A and B are shown apart, each in its own frame.
Chain A
Amino acid sequence: KAGVTQTPRYLIKTRGQQVTLSCSPISGHRSVSWYQQTPGQGLQFLFEYFSETQRNKGNFPGRFSGRQFSNSRSEMNVSTLELGDSALYLCASSLRGGQTYNEQFFGPGTRLTVL
């Protein structure tokens, strides 16, 4: 069974630009969560999508947005990039609903560098 895949793996952008990252969950998983990881702040929750609906949102500005498609694939978008947005963006998928254990499986991440 294929794991969580994220594209692209590396990205370099300049301030003010916008970027879209993609995540394909494990087959059959319907929940996708996004996290930002930086040396200073560690791992921080961005948002979670389940069945194309945003279920939870972390404390990030509105420049960070996301969506989920009917096949459970998810994208996150960051507009008006700032230097502080440089980070490793991780996507995790889990099997949600009913008596599931909600174990999260992570992708390899997208390394975003903002110049």
Chain B
Amino acid sequence: KQEVTQIPAALSVPEGENLVLNCSFTDSAIYNLQWFRQDPGKGLTSLLLIQSSQREQTSGRLNASLDKSSGRSTLYIAASQPGDSATYLCAVRLGVYGQNFVFGPGTRLSVLP
């Protein structure tokens, strides 16, 4: 059974810092991995999608990497801003027609002005 964990569970940093969020999964046979952010009481906003054949994806100040063999993905946020404060979730997709996404518990990020 695929399990997804995220470390740390919570993180508080001053504005301007670069930071790394970690996501680990137990079964490397994934179809893709997606990073989301969730603001309190809201839905999920897609940040980056990495296909299983890719190593990384970049969007603005965000960079996500994927190492399937070790079951890890990292989300790098450069020059953090207070508006980045949210919960960040990673999710692995197990197959096109298999069980859908398995989500990690999330990392709650607070960026202090």
Interface on A for B, CB 8 Å cutoff?
4, 6, 33, 35, 42-45, 48, 55-56, 58, 88, 90, 92, 101-109, 111
Contact = CB atoms under 8 A, between A and B. Distances in A.
Contact of A56 (B32, B43, B99, B104): B99
B101 A45 contact: yes
B81 interface: no
Contacts of A92: 44
Contact of B46 (A44, A55, A105, A109): A105
Contacts of A43: 89, 91, 101, 103
Nearest to B101: A45
Given A42-B105, A43-B89, A102 B45 contact: no
Interface stretch (B18-26, B34-42, B72-80): B34-42
Interface of B: 31-32, 34, 36, 41-46, 49, 51, 89, 91, 93, 96-106
Interface residue SS majority, chain A: strand
Given A43-B89, A56-B97, A102-B93, A111 B103 contact: no
B102 A101 contact: no
A27 B89 CA distance: 25
B44 A90 contact: yes
Nearest to A6: B43
Contacts of B89: 43
A58 B99 contact: yes
B100 A103 contact: no
Contact of B100 (A42, A48, A88): A48
B43 A108 contact: yes
B49 A106 contact: no
A102 B16 CA distance: 33
Contact of B43 (A45, A48, A103, A107): A107
B103 A106 contact: no
